[in-house]
Amino acid sequence: MDKYASNEENKETDKSGILEENLMAAKLKTALLGATGYSGLELARLLGRHPRTDAPLLLRRSAEIGQSGGHAAGLPHISGNGHGSSLVQPFSWSALEQRGVELLFLATPHAVSRELVPEAVTRGLRIVDLSGAWRLKQEQNRAVYGFKDANAQTAAELTERAVYGLPELNADRIAPAALVANPGCYATSIILALAPLLSAGIVDCDRGIISDSKSGVSGAGKEPTARTHFVSVADNFSAYSVFGHRHTGEILEQLALNSGQLIFTPHLLPIPRGILSTIYVYLKREMTADEIQCCFHDFYKGKRWIRVFPASSLPQIQFSVHTNYCDLGFCLAHDGRRLVLVSCLDNLLKGAAGQAVQNMNLMYGWDEAEGLQ
């Protein structure tokens, strides 16, 4: 009897082992180029613990080789996570092919993404690009990047095929996409706040929309500049890129606004991460707070990563930082015509890496919350 029980236990163990091997083999194989930037670090961390992805292949551009060695020493986000992903390798197409990579994340400068994506698509890879390389359809908005494409026709075709990766607005288009352009962090905060009201047609756009937005220093990227050094940032608060920020075009295109209807002013906060956008609008008619509340709740019903606050209860950066939530709140003036919106998110998560994972989940038919809770 003991021998029989032992045999049965061995069979069950063998079955479990085979099942585990099959699950491992079925896991999505991903690669991440730009793993050592702020957004790249967050993305590497999320992919390393995602239940449906294999350990990501972490890559760096040749220009970055030797800056911090091959291993991710000093990068606790991606080293020592038990997935064997602490080695950051030089980028090569052969490395992706050998690993069997199916989905490529690009956390690279815009020009690099613009250069690599045509080849990646030709090789049958699906791409989630965190840069601004493929977000913009209109040439006048893309001009701020100064792209110089090797093949203008191919670039134009890919620009048309690229899907703007804002899941709350474009989930149906993201699911089958080969190229997803992850939105900018400021743009995400502003678009999500305004989309329900503009969709309902209740904003008086001709009176103008003002977005006064503030971001932590990580939003400026890892490369230090005179503006982002500690001495410049600490005990300070400053506006920058007034009437010239790259995210302006995204906001205009996604919300179908013209340049005369929006003033967007970004500011640099002396904190590591987080965005707070305060947005001022006029309404076409007198409305109640309950009507505004219903507008938001109806628009975002079932949207996992949107939290709508009760009227006059406003979000704060500390509530959404280190999460994938976008928190939305509002205050309505006594006249029922002037409305102030407040939108908060973590610029490295919902504004970058978390949203990239959310897009991946949609692309492969998984729950949007997978790997983000």
User: How open is the CA angle 269-264-344, to the nearest 5 degrees?
Assistant: 50
The Cα–Cα gap between 182 and 39 comes to: 12
The Cα–Cα gap between 133 and 162 comes to: 10
The Cα–Cα gap between 31 and 51 comes to: 16
Question: Would you state the structure tokens that stand for residue 243, as one six-digit string?
Answer: 């009437």
Q: What are phi and psi of 324, to 5 degrees?
A: -100, 15
Do residues 78 and 85 make contact, with C-beta atoms less than 8 angstroms apart? yes
The Cα–Cα gap between 108 and 61 comes to: 9
The Cα–Cα gap between 253 and 135 comes to: 10
Q: Which of 185, 205, 326, 344 is flagged as catalytic?
A: 185
Q: What are phi and psi of 28, to 5 degrees?
A: -65, 135
Is 294 annotated in the active site? no
Question: Would you state the structure tokens that stand for residue 361, as one six-digit string?
Answer: 């989940």
What does 333-368 look like in DSSP terms, one character per residue?
-TTSSEEEEEEEE-TTTTTTHHHHHHHHHHHTT--T
Q: What are phi and psi of 336, to 5 degrees?
A: 70, 10
Cβ-proximal residues to 100 (8 Å cutoff; 6+ apart), any chain: 29
Cβ-proximal residues to 152 (8 Å cutoff; 6+ apart), any chain: none
Question: H or E segment at 88?
Answer: strand 88-90
Cβ-proximal residues to 16 (8 Å cutoff; 6+ apart), any chain: none
Residues forming the active site: 185
